[in-house]
Structure 1
Amino acid sequence: MLTLYQFESCPFCWKVKALLHYAKIPYRIIEVNPMTSEELKPLGLKQVPVLVDDGEVIKESSVIVDYLNERYAKLPVTEDAAQWRTWVDQQLVFLLPPIIHKNFLTSWKTFGRVLRTSGFSPIKRCFVRLGGAVAMSRSAPKKAQARGISDAPAALQAAIRHWVDQGLAGRAFHGRDAPDLADLAVFAVLRATDGLVTIQLAEAASPGFAPWYAAMKTRTPSSASS
């Protein structure tokens, strides 16, 4: 069985999980401590996501998605979908951290939500939550500033309107009758923040977002083993 090393709120991990779920590919999860990455030490790696398939170790989300699609999912690969995937990796994903980690309190709440399903002990959850909130509330605003993001909520809403107007363009999905790799990429990074203010901002940005997002959630039930 495939094994995915991940952290629950990592949008790059969700890019992998969205395809696994949509294609109904069974896999097991190993939750990685984002403060120490101790679970990755046997592999000699430090960053998630990491996929292990019959001893083969694959890293970096886009590489993993391509591997899974070529070997298992076999969704159509188009130039337009590839461009949207690049847009997700180079623009959309960077609008989320300065919103969900804008200060210590916001980051504390974010980690509290995502750690509920981590399987960590109460003491470990508290350690990760505190350390994560301190680190992310410091780094997220600085990285946003370095990227020229001065108003992340407004930038996110503009990005959502761009996706709905140009990506969906009046269709149910970018892939028309069914989701394609573009739909899965956009959905995945937003799904990583499900239940947080980012989704509320997205829903307020365009009336076309909520039906698409709900449809994507319906089509991507977890295929992870318990």
Structure 2
Amino acid sequence: MNKQSGIPLLDEIPKINPSRKIHYPNDNNNLKLTLYQYQTCPFCCKVRAFLDYHGISYDVIEVDPVLRQSIKWSPYKKVPILVVETPTGQYQPLNDSSMIISALSTFIKDAEKEIVDIVKCYPFIEYVDEGGSRKTDIMNKYFLMLSEKKMVKMNMDELNEERKWRRWVDDVLVHTLSPNVYRTKEEAFQAFNWFSEVGEWEKNFPEWERQLIIYVGAYAMLMIGKRLKKKYNLKDDVRSSLYDECNYWMKSIQKKGGKFMGGDKPNLADLAVFGVLNSIEGCLAFEDLLKNSKIKVWFDQMKIEVNRNKMITDV
């Protein structure tokens, strides 16, 4: 296993007008953030849920999910990519949704740490999996890298449980989504037309490019969804797998006795679950989920918490 440093500070990134700006008047974090994303990517939705809940302002650049021209500058070719503009005028890219959330949580909780130094605590690693394929990952991505003085004040049992559930979101829950959203050709096209609407593709891309994304994307994800169903051993009725996982989550919250996994207020696990489920809101699979599982009350409460202070400025 080889460790590699993350993407280093960059002196320049191509200037692209943001699709929109999310502004919080009470944001005092002094961070200039730009989120490169797909509006309905589960991992991008997870990052936005965190930023919105904590009232952190950011710009959004909507990436074409087929051509991806706006991230050609980045050696990391997946979204989300969150770019922090530093006080020196350089740019620090953060990659992987879980790493982004852990790094920003560390920044919020430990005022003595600078974001550039925090990023160094999450190195990229390369490894070969059991099938012989070369993979990359990010070390410590579920951990808050706080100083000893801060860690003493933290409840370690709660931190460990929070990490467990954040991992479950990435390893289990998110893999039930695509086979459900793209279960049939009709559902795949319904989903991509919905994505076009909420992602404002008519505004952000030429019409030929928007149509390309819809048709190529829908057919590609229809095939990918079927492969993922087999890969992750979902039930023949893939809806049942989605319902089961969401009911498992709700049963675990009920055992704790609070409104959220974090108690009276959401923690990082709540935000992760909400984020990935929010990515399919508007799809037929989500409508069925609300009708056939126990997730609705919790989801509606989370939406209130996350969007409490949200203000969107169109550009």
For the aligned pair, the TM-score class normalised by the smaller chain equals over 0.9
| Alignment-mate amino acid for residue 70 of structure 1 | T
Question: Per residue, is there more strand in 1 or in 2?
Answer: 2
| Alignment-mate amino acid for residue 63 of structure 1 | M
Equivalent residue, structure 2, for 1:156: 242
**Count of residues paired in the alignment:** 225
Question: Per residue, is there more helix in 1 or in 2?
Answer: 1
Unaligned runs of 5+ in 2: 1-31, 86-90, 111-143, 145-153
Compute the RMSD of aligned alpha carbons. 1.9
Q: What's the TM-score, normalizing by structure 1?
A: 0.92
Kept in 2, the 8 Å contact 1:112–1:129? The answer is yes
- How far apart in 1 are the matches of 2:222 and 2:246? 24
Kept in 1, the 8 Å contact 2:181–2:284? The answer is yes
- How far apart in 2 are the matches of 1:161 and 1:179? 18
Answering whether residue 97 of structure 2 is matched by residue 69 of structure 1, we say: no
Kept in 2, the 8 Å contact 1:16–1:61? The answer is yes
Q: Which moved more, 1:58-67 or 1:122-131?
A: 122-131
Of 203, 216, 221 in structure 2, the residue corresponding to residue 131 of structure 1 is: 216
Cα 1:4/1:168, change in 2 over 3 Å: farther
Q: Which moved more, 1:118-127 or 1:136-145?
A: 118-127
| Structure 1 residue 46 displacement after superposition | 1.5
Aligned-pair identity in percent equals 31
- How far apart in 2 are the matches of 1:198 and 1:176? 28
Kept in 2, the 8 Å contact 1:19–1:73? The answer is no
Equivalent residue, structure 2, for 1:218: 304
| Structure 1 residue 115 displacement after superposition | 1.4
Cα 1:114/1:142, change in 2 over 3 Å: same
Cα 1:79/1:224, change in 2 over 3 Å: farther
Answering whether residue 266 of structure 2 is matched by residue 179 of structure 1, we say: yes
Equivalent residue, structure 1, for 2:72: 41
| Structure 1 residue 132 displacement after superposition | 0.3
What stretches of structure 1 move > 6 A for 4+ residues in a row?
73-77
Instruction: Deviation per CA, 1:2-42: give whole Å up to 9, x if none.
Output: 00010011101111111000001000111111112111002
| Alignment-mate amino acid for residue 145 of structure 1 | K
- How far apart in 2 are the matches of 1:73 and 1:44? 30
Answering whether residue 280 of structure 2 is matched by residue 199 of structure 1, we say: no
Instruction: Deviation per CA, 1:170-218: give whole Å up to 9, x if none.
Output: 42111111111111011110000112233233323444x2121111111
Q: Which moved more, 1:111-120 or 1:32-41?
A: 111-120
Larger Rg: 1 or 2? 2
Equivalent residue, structure 2, for 1:85: 166
- How far apart in 2 are the matches of 1:99 and 1:206? 15
